[in-house]
Amino acid sequence: MKTNFSEAVSSRPVSLFQYAVVLTVLLVLVFDGMDGQSLGLVVPTILKEWRIERAAFGWALSASIFGMGLGALAGGWLGDRIGRLRSLFVSVLIFGCATIAASRVGDVSALTVLRFIGGLGFGAAGPNALALATEWMPARLRTYVIALLSVGTPAGGTIAAAVAPFLLADYGWRGLFLTFGVASLAVGVLALLVVRESPSYYLAKGRSDEANAVARRVLGDGMELVPEQVGAVAGGPVVGVFDRSTVRLTLGASLAFSALTAVVYAINYWGTELFTSHGLSQTQAIGVIFWGGIVSVLGALLSGWTVRAFGSRATILACSLVTFAVTLALGAAIEQGGSSVTLVTVLACAIGGVGSLGIATLYSLITLGYPVSCRSTGIGLGMMMGRAGGILMTFYGGSLLDLGGQSVVPFFAVMAVCALLVSLSAWIVDRHVAPPRKR
């Protein structure tokens, strides 16, 4: 019997091996987040030890963000060329070794270079993890898997923050870096031992013997696999993200990622300054950001259900309009002054939760919308554009606040426009995940 791997695996119960693939890939992303968060957790310690000012440390902190953007695109491209599993291991090797090496440096310049290199690995892990895990799972579970994986990296950052005080007390910041780096390499080796390359990738490359050999882990014998034809045009498969059949997905998803991430970053990175300058104490402002982070995780997890129930277009449109309305409400509350901490917290949490729901939905859109031949590249491009939007808002958010003086209108006006651009992107995209009744 001839069929493609996606159809074959969707017709069978999920095996322990498939669950092991998802959990191992999730573990890689958790350590990706732990290594990525590590420097931010030890800044005061390093500043004191090296006797330097905060301004001199800015490049070291931002280097990994630039690296992550470039790494996402490069890692996605590599995943479509040499395989998702190999590329995932290379990404772990890069950020694990860079983190270990950072434990030995003694100046800001060397640390900046190593954090940029580590950022390349941080960014490259995401697209390959998403592509690899979803290609092993049946269609009915893919949106849930994507939602779960989307919180892996932020969960890693939270875990790092929880264990950092103990590691710093016993081993110092160098010991923390060394521990995280070595543990990451161990997880990378575990991935090589447990996970296998996606049969869909092998089939897209014309390597049917390898695809059938690997697929027997879940399909058994008696099944002949053929390449997926999703996205085929003019008699041949799609080979790039700017092909005629995928260009609207690429343009729309890129716009949505950059615009929605800009909104979320505006609150995450400038929220504390914004709230404290308009009546909240620093403790209260940090509390707002903390609860916003918790709700963001819940929003991302919820996307697995909303995309299955309503489809990606309806979910993205709803997220866009709700984010727009809540952004205006928060801006108006702060502009008028005298707003309660509870009101500010609720509105900021709504932006974080709905924004994360939208971003996780975009991950489902690009992971399931691109054909196998360019899936990792498409995911990587989307992640890179998200980083670009976040970086722009991080850099210019302060200028927008200064532009308004005591008024927050310029800051929230830009956020509101970004929220509406997400609605436009939903109509640009022509390869949405459809709800069940339309499949």
Is 99 contained in some domain?
yes
Is 281 contained in some domain?
yes
Residues 320, 212 share a domain: no
Is 312 contained in some domain?
yes
Q: Can you give the residue range of the structural domain that contains 103?
A: 2-216
DSSP summary character for residue 3: E
Residues 343, 201 share a domain: no
Amino acid type, 408: V
Is 231 contained in some domain?
no
Helices and strands in the chain: count of H runs, count of E runs: 15, 2
Residues 251, 179 share a domain: no
Residues 170, 91 share a domain: yes
Q: How many CA atoms lie within 13 A of 247 on its CB side?
A: 4
Residue 232 has pLDDT above 50, yes or no: no
Is 284 contained in some domain?
yes
Tokens 């270990």, located at residue: 100
pLDDT tens digits, one per residue of 55-82: 788 788 888 889 999 999 999 999 999 9
Q: What angle do CA 69, 75, 81 make, to 5 degrees?
A: 150
In the prediction, which pLDDT does 35 show? Answer: 93
pLDDT tens digits, one per residue of 280-294: 888 888 888 888 888
Q: Which residues pair with 225 in a beta bridge?
A: 3
pLDDT tens digits, one per residue of 157-216: 888 988 899 999 999 999 999 999 999 999 999 999 999 999 999 998 889 899 988 988
In the prediction, which pLDDT does 41 show? Answer: 86
Tokens 């709800």, located at residue: 435
Decide which of 171, 198, 216 is a domain's last residue. 216
- Residue 406 DSSP SS3: coil
Q: How confident is the model at residue 261 (pLDDT cuts 50, 70, 90)?
A: very high
Query: Which CATH number characterizes residue 75's domain?
Result: 1.20.1250.20
DSSP summary character for residue 376: H
